Structure 1
C-alpha cells in the first residue's frame, strides 16, 4: 500500500520506510526519534500532547516523561536550525510540542511488486455492505472470510490470507495496483446485503493483468441457504480459474446465524483489540451455547485462552490445559479444518508432545496449503527444534501468503533471524511498526547485544522489564518448546548479554 512522505527544508521524512534524508543523504536517527518526528510532522502547526507523542514512540509501554524530553532534544540537535534561524520543534509548556516548519506532503512510494506464483493466484477483497444496517457489517465480513477459507483449501490455487485482503477494506485503489502489491493475478470483488431473511450477493472475478471480467453473477437466496450459497460461489470461481471442479472434504458450518455473527465479531476483536480478552471470551462462549457443535468458536476460544496464558495478567488469564482441551474439541468436531489443526499442533508443542504436534501441522498443510498462519506458527516451533533454515523458509512462505500480516509474524521472523545469526536483519524486523511491542523487546535486546550494541540492548531490556517485572530467563527457557540445546543456549546467551535476569 501507499503511504505519505513529508518534505520540510532540506529534509524528506518517509515514515513507512523509516528513513530521514537531508539533501538526499541519510540522517542517523533512532527508531523512536523517527516515530516522534512523524507524529509531529504529520500534524505540523498543531500542538501535539505529550501523551500522544509517548504513545507514538512507546506504544503500549509505560515510560517516564523524561524519555520524551531526551528524544526531543536529540531531534532538535539532528535537525539543526530552520531557514529562519529558529527551532523546528517548539515546546508548549506543560502541554506538548508543535512542529513549526512548513511541510509538503509528497506522494508515497509504491511497495515492491511481488512475482506471480506458478499457479492461478487470487485475493478476495472485502465485500461491501450495501444494506442500511451497520450491524450487518460483521455478517458481510464473515462472508468474505468464508470465501477466502473455501478457496484456500483448493490445492490448485494460491490464495492471499485474510489479514492482507482486509488491509484494503474501505480503500479506493486500482485493481492492478492491488494485484501487484499482493502478487496475484485475479481479484474477487463483491457486495452483499442481508435483510428480511434474504441474502443478496453480487460478485465478479477480475483478471488484473488484462482488466477483463472472467465471471460475474448476482445471487438472491434465503438466509437459511447462506452456506450453500457460499459453496456455490466458490465452485464458480474455481471453475473459472481451473476449468474444473474438485470436491473438498465438507466443512463444519454453524447451525445458528447469531453464533456465526458472534464468532466473526470476536475474531475481528482479537486482531483489533487484543486487550479485550474478556469480551471476546464472553462472545465466544455465547456462540458455543447457541451452537454447541460450532468448531470455529471452540478454535478461537482456545486461542483466546492461550493468549491470556502467554501475555498473562488479563481478566481471562487461563492455563494451557484449558486451551488444549478446547482445541481438541474443535478438531474432533471438524477434522477437516486446517485452522483448528494448526492451533492444536501449536498447543501440543508447548505440552512437549512433539510427535503429535508434527502430525497435526502436517495434516493442517495437507488440508489447506494456503493457510499462512500454519506456516508462521510452524516456523516458531521448527526454529526452537534447531531446524533454523527450515523455520526461515516456513515464515517466508507465511509472509508471501500474507504480505500484510499480524504483528506476531514479525516476531516469528525476528526470532528465526536471531537463531540464524542474522542479527542486523532481526533488529530491523523486530523494530517494525507491527511488532515493536513488549513481547518482542527481549529478542530485540538479545540481537543488539550480539552486535555489541550494549547500550541499546540494555535500554530495550529496561523497557521490557517495566512491562514484565517477573521475567526470568530460566523460567522462560523451561516453558518455551525447545528441542535443541544449542539453540536454547544461543538465546540464553543473548538474553544474558542484554542484561535480562
Structure 2
C-alpha cells in the first residue's frame, strides 16, 4: 500500500519512505510509527496506544517514545517547533496533521523497480551468477564397493552451496541427468546455460580420500580455479562433510573474486544491480576511507536498481559498520545506519546468512552482545560453510564473550577460507582471545601475522603492538607504534578501545600495554 502526503510517499510493502527521488532510511520502529500515525490522520493517538503498538508489551519509558517521535519528525523534515506532520496534543497524545493520506496499490517508480529497465527485446541479466556442480568421476580402484561416495559429495556440495544463497545453483536432478553425463563439463554447462561449471574426480587410496576440482567459466572455457583436497577417511560421513564445506567456501569465494574483477572493468554507468554490488565489494575489501565511500556508492546503485537485493543491503551495512569502527564518520549516526540497512537486508531475505551476519555486526555496534551472538549463530546454522559468519562470531566472542569459543571459530573460519580478504581479522580475533586468556606470547604471534596482511587496518597494527608489549617484546612493539604513527600521528590506546567492545578486564590489559610502550602516557 502507498501512503502519500505533502511531498512524501510511503510504500508499506517495500518498507520505503521517499521524498521525490530521495530514498530515506529510517529504523524499522520509526517507520512503523510514521505508518501507524499516517494511517489515522487527524485522530489523536495516545502515548499508551503507541507504546503498546510499537513495543508489543515490552516495558519501556515514555522517553523511548519521545526519541522515536523525534526521529520520525526528522525523517519527515519536521520539528518539535514546526510540527507540520506530527503534532503533539498536550496531555492527550499525538496527531498526524499532514495533508490527507491517499492509500493506493504500490506502483513502482523507475527508481524502485525490482529489476532494472532494459531496452525492448534485451533479456535481463540474472540476479545471481549461476553454477552447475557436475557429477564427479570416481577413480578409486575399489569404486565398485564405494559407488556412491563421489555422488554423495556432489550432493553435499550442491546442498551447502545453495544454503549460502549467493549463487543460483542448478539442482542435482538436472546435473545427474543421463544426457548430461555423456557430455564434457563445458558442453554440459552451455546446455544448462550457467556462468560457471565445476568438474572433478574422487580417489580413495590407503584410506585417504582425494578430491581434485576445476572451476571454469562456461562462456570462455577459462579455468578460474583448480585445487586438490586430501584427507584421511577415518569417518566417511564426517570427512565428506568437512571436505564438502571447504569446497563450498572456496567455490563461493573464487566466484565472488571473479565477479568482482569483472565488474571493476565495466564502465560505471553500464552496471546492473549484480555488477554494481560486486563493484562495491571490490572497493569494500580495500579497507580505507575513500574506497569505503566508493563501495557505499555502488551498493546504493545496486539497491536502487533492485530493492529486493538482500546482499547489497548487507554490503551497505558493512560500509556503515566500517565508518563507525574506524572512526571515519560520526559513530552514533553510522551505528544507526548499519542497523537500518541490516534490517532491510533481513526484510529482503530472512534466510540469507549474510543478512543475519549484518544484523549481528550491527547489534554488536549497539552494545547488544547476547543478541549479536544469537544472530551470528543463526547465520552459520543457515549455512555451516559461511566463513564470514564463523569469523564474526570469533570477533564478538574474543572481546567480551567466550575466548575459547573465539579461538575455535577463528580457526574454523580460516579452515573454510584460508585466503579470505578478512584474514587479518580472523587472525586478530584469535590474538585478542589469547590476550584475554593471559597467553601473551601466543597473542603476539597471531597479532603479528594479522598485521603482516597487506590490507590490515590501523587497529590491527595497534593490536600487534600492544600484544608484543604484553609479551615483553617492547622494542618490536615500539617500532610497530612508530610505523602506526606514520599513518595516524595522534593515534592513542583510547581510540583502539573505543573501536572495540572489550570487557573491563580486556580494556585494562590494553591500557597496561600502552603504558609499557610509552610509560609517560
What's the TM-score once normalised by structure 2's chain length? 0.49
By how many angstroms is 1:456 displaced? 2.1
Tell me: CA distance 1:153–1:480, structure 2 relative to 1, closer, same or farther (3 Å).
farther
Tell me: CA distance 1:280–1:459, structure 2 relative to 1, closer, same or farther (3 Å).
same
By how many angstroms is 1:330 displaced? 0.5
- What corresponds to 2:202 in structure 1? 207
Alignment of 1:310-459 (within 5 A): 310-313=325-328, 319-406=334-421, 407-432=424-449, 433-434=452-453, 438-459=458-479
Instruction: Give the gaps of 5 or more residues in structure 1.
Output: 1-137, 163-188, 221-240, 243-255
1:347-374 alpha-carbon deviations (Å, 9 max, x no partner): 2012112232122122112111111111
Instruction: Give the gaps of 5 or more residues in structure 2.
Output: 1-124, 135-154, 168-183, 220-239, 242-269
Distance in 2 of aligned mates of 1:395 and 1:488: 21
By how many angstroms is 1:450 displaced? 1.6
> Is 1:485 matched with 2:508?
no
- What corresponds to 2:61 in structure 1? none
Distance in 1 of aligned mates of 2:509 and 2:331: 33
- What corresponds to 1:27 in structure 2? none
Distance in 1 of aligned mates of 2:294 and 2:474: 41
Distance in 2 of aligned mates of 1:315 and 1:145: 45
Distance in 2 of aligned mates of 1:492 and 1:216: 48
- From 291, 298, 307, the equivalent of 2:306 is 291
> Is 1:498 matched with 2:511?
no
- From 424, 443, 466, the equivalent of 2:486 is 466
Distance in 1 of aligned mates of 2:197 and 2:203: 18
SS at match of 1:293: coil
Distance in 2 of aligned mates of 1:408 and 1:216: 27
Distance in 2 of aligned mates of 1:410 and 1:418: 13
Identify which of structures 1 and 2 has the higher relative contact order when contacts are C-alpha pairs closer than 8 Å and 6+ apart. 1
Distance in 1 of aligned mates of 2:377 and 2:361: 12
By how many angstroms is 1:466 displaced? 3.2
Alignment of 1:24-43 (within 5 A): none
1:182-215 alpha-carbon deviations (Å, 9 max, x no partner): xxxxxxx9669999xx656544243265778999
Across the aligned residues of Structure 1 and Structure 2, the Cα RMSD in angstroms comes to: 4.7
Tell me: CA distance 1:153–1:215, structure 2 relative to 1, closer, same or farther (3 Å).
closer
User: Do the aligned partners of 2:431 and 2:443 also contact (CA within 8 Å) in 1?
Assistant: yes
1:462-487 alpha-carbon deviations (Å, 9 max, x no partner): 222332334343454345223x3223
Distance in 2 of aligned mates of 1:193 and 1:376: 36
1:266-325 alpha-carbon deviations (Å, 9 max, x no partner): 223323575522222221111111111111110001112222332344899972211111
SS at match of 1:204: strand
Tell me: CA distance 1:479–1:313, structure 2 relative to 1, closer, same or farther (3 Å).
closer
Q: Which has the larger radius of gyration?
A: 2
Tell me: CA distance 1:219–1:404, structure 2 relative to 1, closer, same or farther (3 Å).
closer
User: Do the aligned partners of 1:293 and 1:333 also contact (CA within 8 Å) in 2?
Assistant: yes
What's the TM-score once normalised by structure 1's chain length? 0.50
Aligned residues: 301
Distance in 2 of aligned mates of 1:329 and 1:306: 15
SS at match of 2:199: strand
Distance in 1 of aligned mates of 2:453 and 2:485: 20
- From 270, 278, 284, the equivalent of 1:270 is 284
User: Do the aligned partners of 1:192 and 1:201 also contact (CA within 8 Å) in 2?
Assistant: no
